[in-house]
Structure 1
Amino acid sequence: MGIRKLLRVTQRAMERAMFGVSLRDQIRNVEIHGRTRVTDIAQRVAKLKWQWAGHIVRRKNGRWGPKVLEWQPRTGKRSVGRPPTRWTDDIKRVAGSRWIQAAQNRGIWNSLQKT
């Protein structure tokens, strides 16, 4: 189970607890979410990650943050099997492989975030 799904499950459980509704009451999550009007935690996490990535990439004066994002290991070999997802994989999926150049321009970066 993915971390986003676990976050959503936890958020729904907390919303149910806020209203004192149990699963036996058979009230749909959509209805409870409509009452609480709490922001979806998975969307919030994705937004904060996007903002943080743009902030780190735009930093200058020799800081190690942007260097770490572009770093490639010396061996270049990865283990057998499905490779583990990297922190930047979600960002690359939306902004493309040249996301670091896109993040330099705040206007472009914010427009990409909304997609």
Structure 2
Amino acid sequence: MHITAMLYGAETWVLTKAAEHKLAAAQRRMERRMVGIRLSDKKTNAWLRGVTNVKDVIASAVERKWAYGWELVRSTEVKWSEELMKWRPPSKRWVGRPKTRWHDDFQRILGTSNWRSTTRVMTKIEWIDLLRCRIL
């Protein structure tokens, strides 16, 4: 149940390494609470995951994001979410490295900047295989 509450709106998150680290730490903290052990009991994360049998929160967040990406690509109607992704602010860009965008994960895995047109010719099975590459 706690994963459902943790992942509310995960389809729209930008999953950076820092965000993944915070999610994993929060999940381990909740699992320790479920089992009734403290950090000082020196139990490993693998042991804890074996006892609780809870699905990994990061893998669940990535699955939700990729499922939402599939829906965005396959949709034929114009949605505000797609228009929002195309929109660029009228101001100048900040100095330094650009922030990670929602679709950067898709672009990195697919190896192309135009991930929507590449995905339109894919089957659902190919899309799921790419998702497995991202999770593993």
Shorter-chain TM-score tier: 0.7 to 0.9
- Whether 1:8 and 2:24 are equivalent positions in the alignment is yes
Q: Which amino acid aligns with 1:19?
A: V
Query: Normalization by structure 1: what TM-score?
Result: 0.85
- Whether 1:114 and 2:132 are equivalent positions in the alignment is yes
Query: Normalization by structure 2: what TM-score?
Result: 0.73
1:39 alignment counterpart? 55
* Partner Cα separation in structure 2 for residue 65 and residue 23 of structure 1: 42
* Cα distance per residue 1:28-71 (max 9 Å; x no partner): 11111111111110111011101101101221133333333344
CA-based RMSD: 1.9
- Whether 1:86 and 2:101 are equivalent positions in the alignment is yes
Of residues 42, 45, 48 in structure 2, which corresponds to 1:26? Answer: 42
Gaps of 5+ in 2: 1-16
1:60 alignment counterpart? 76
Instruction: Name which one, 1 or 2, has greater alpha-carbon Rg.
Output: 1
Q: Percent identity among equivalent residues? A: 34
SS at match of 1:42: helix
Gaps of 5+ in 1: none
Q: Residue 74 of structure 1: CA displacement?
A: 5.2
* Partner Cα separation in structure 2 for residue 61 and residue 90 of structure 1: 24
Q: Which structure ranks higher in relative contact order (CA pairs < 8 Å, sequence separation ≥ 6)?
A: 2
* Cα distance per residue 1:75-102 (max 9 Å; x no partner): 6x42101211111111211122232123
